[in-house]
Amino acid sequence: MPTTTFHSLRTSTRPPRNRAITLLAVGHACVDVYQGAVAALVPFFVAERAYTYATASGIVLAASLLSSVAQPLFGALTDRKPLPWLLPVSTLVGGLGIALSGLGGSYTLTLLFVAVSGIGVAAYHPESARIARVASRGGHTAMSWFSLGGNLGFAFSPALVALVVGFGGLTMSPLLLLPALAGSVLCLPALRIVQRGQEATSAAAHPTQTLTSAADDRRSFLRLTLGVICRSVAFTGLSTFISFHMVQSTGWGPTAGTAALVVLYLGGAVGTVLGGRLAERRDRVTVVRRSYLLTVLAVAGVVLVPGPLGYLFVALASAGLYVPFSLQVTLAQDYLPHRVGTAGGITLGLTVSVGGIAAPAIGLLADATSLRTALIPLIAMPALSWLAFRGLPEPAAAIGPPSEEAESP
Per-residue pLDDT tens over the stretch 86-133: 999 999 999 999 999 888 778 888 888 988 998 998 889 888 888 887
CATH number at residue 297: 1.20.1250.20
Report the pLDDT averaged over residues 300-306: 94
Identify the pLDDT of residue 54.
76
Displacement of CA 311 from its chain's centroid (Å): 21
Residues near 370 by beta carbon (within 8 Å), at least 6 away in sequence: none
- What is the domain range of residue 137? 13-398
Helical residues (DSSP H) of 348-396, grouped into ranges: 351-353, 359-368, 371-375, 380-389
Q: Is 80 within the bounds of a domain?
A: yes
Task: Pick 405 or 114 by higher pLDDT.
Answer: 114
SS3 106: coil
Q: Is 113 within the bounds of a domain?
A: yes
Report the pLDDT averaged over residues 162-166: 88
Identify the pLDDT of residue 230.
94
String of DSSP letters for 254-302: HHHHHHHHHHHHHHHHHHHHHHHHHHTTS-HHHHHHHHHHHHHHHHHHH
Which tens digits make up the pLDDT trace of 304-315?
A: 998 899 999 999
Classify residue 338 by its DSSP letter. T
Q: Is 405 within the bounds of a domain?
A: no
Q: Is 285 within the bounds of a domain?
A: yes
Identify the pLDDT of residue 199.
63
String of DSSP letters for 30-94: HHHHHHHHHHHHHHHHHHHH---HHHHHHHHHHHHHHHHHHHHHHHHHHHHS--TTHHHHHHHHH
pTM assigned to the model: 0.74
Report the pLDDT averaged over residues 255-265: 85
Identify the pLDDT of residue 316.
96
Q: Is 8 within the bounds of a domain?
A: no
Provide the Cα torsion 48, 51, 52, 58; round to 10°.
-130
Classify residue 305 by its DSSP letter. -
- Yes or no: say if 61 and 360 are a contact pair by the CB < 8 Å rule: yes
Which tens digits make up the pLDDT trace of 232-246?
A: 999 989 988 998 899
Which tens digits make up the pLDDT trace of 31-89?
A: 989 987 887 888 888 888 878 777 877 887 777 777 777 877 888 888 888 888 999 99
Task: Pick 287 or 56 by higher pLDDT.
Answer: 287
Classify residue 309 by its DSSP letter. T
Q: Is 7 within the bounds of a domain?
A: no
Q: How far, CA to CA in Å, does 27 sit from each of 75, 100, 101, 244, 389?
A: 19, 21, 22, 30, 30
- Yes or no: say if 173 and 100 are a contact pair by the CB < 8 Å rule: yes
How much of the chain exceeds pLDDT 70, in percent?
87
Q: Is 6 within the bounds of a domain?
A: no
Q: Is 355 within the bounds of a domain?
A: yes
Report how many domains make up the chain. Answer: 1
